[in-house]
Each structure stands twice: as C-alpha cells, then as structure tokens.
Structure 1
Amino acid sequence: MARIAGVNLPTNKRVVIALQYIHGIGPKFASEIIAKANIPAERRVHELTDAEALQMREIVDRDYQVEGDLRREVS
C-alpha cells in the first residue's frame, strides 16, 4: 500500500485516480505527477514498486502543496 502525504492510496485503483484521494491533487496534477515519475497511466497502485512510490512521494513533497499545508493556507 502506497502512502503519500499522509494518505493511504486505494490499492486496486489506477495511480492517476488514486492520487486524487489526496486533498489538493486533481486530475491535472495527478497526470503531471505520473508523467514526471515516468509511470504508465494504466498502472494500478498495487503494481507500483517501492522505488516508484518513493519517487512519487518525493515529487508531491517537493512540487505541490497538499493536505495539511494546503488546508492551513486556505483557511
């Protein structure tokens, strides 16, 4: 199970859909993240290697404001 930004991603969903479970990531940002990580759009979360999950986690942490930080800024 991949955990990104404190959110457990659903394992049977495609990665591009599962990333949208994170507050602040919609379809556009999810597509950008998997493109930066060179992950095919049809890959499912349970098929990710540990290296791919780590790479996505690093991209989200470095390039996007999500979850708690975004909630604090919005309110």
Structure 2
Amino acid sequence: MARIFGIEIPNEKRIEASLPYIYGVGPQTAKRLLEQAGVDPDIRTGKLTEEQLVKIAQVITSEGILIEGDLRREKQAAMKRLTSINCYRGIRHRVGLPVRGQRTSTNARTRKGKKRTVGVKK
C-alpha cells in the first residue's frame, strides 16, 4: 500500500479515489491536488512512482490543507472554545443536541441517542 503522510491508501484504486481516504481530503480537493501536482487521476495508486507521491505530499503541504490529526485537533479546539465561553452552540454541543437549528421534537435521533421512554405513574 502507498503511504502519504503515514496514511496508507489502497493500491488497487485510482489515485483520485484513493486520496479521499486521507481525513481532510475530499473528492474535489483530490482532483485539485492531482491537477496541481501534474499527476494523471486515472493512474492506479500502486503504479505511482515515489517522485509522484512526494509531489502530491508537497502540494498538500504548500496548499496548507489540514489533514488527519491536525484537522481533528483543530475541530476539537473549536468545540472546546465554544463550550468554554458558554455560547448557545457550545451548550448544544455539551448537551448532545443538534447545533445548527434543526428540530428536536421529532428526529435528531443520531445526535440525541437511543430513545428513552418516560413512564407515567398511576
């Protein structure tokens, strides 16, 4: 398997489809990176030369794209900042409810978790 920044990407897929395996690189970013690196997007990852892999890594660094651990840390720091200043979004993050104005009367099951039935006493 080919490695870029210590992340293994599948050999049997096209490089355009393999790059999104890196956290922080989506399909559009992958296309743009390959265009700037001058690498054909249809080449299989296993057929890439070492120079082409290095060139892709250089383009990622020069673009200033946050990937993997750095991006996760940045997102975590942003959420921590919101919760520490006690803003509305921070409180919603802390309580585990939707943050961006979605309804919660029905739906929002992913964010709220498994349904807990509230019993009625007789």
TM-score category (smaller protein) = over 0.9
Separation in 2 of the partners of 1:4 and 1:45?
A: 11
Greater relative contact order structure (CA < 8 Å, 6+ sep)? 1
Identity of aligned residues (%): 35
Q: Structure 1 regions of 5+ residues with no counterpart?
A: none
Query: Which ranges in structure 2 are unaligned for 5 or more consecutive residues?
Result: 77-122
- Partner of 2:51, secondary structure, is helix
TM-score of the two chains, using structure 2 as the length reference:
0.58
Deviation per residue, 1:17-67 (Å, 9 max, x gap): 100000000011000111011111211101101110110111112321111
What is the distance in 2 between the residues matched to 1:59 and 1:6? 16
Q: Aligned-residue CA RMSD in angstroms?
A: 1.0
Normalized against structure 1, the TM-score is what? 0.92
C-alpha deviation, 1:4, in angstroms:
1.1
- Bigger Cα Rg: 2
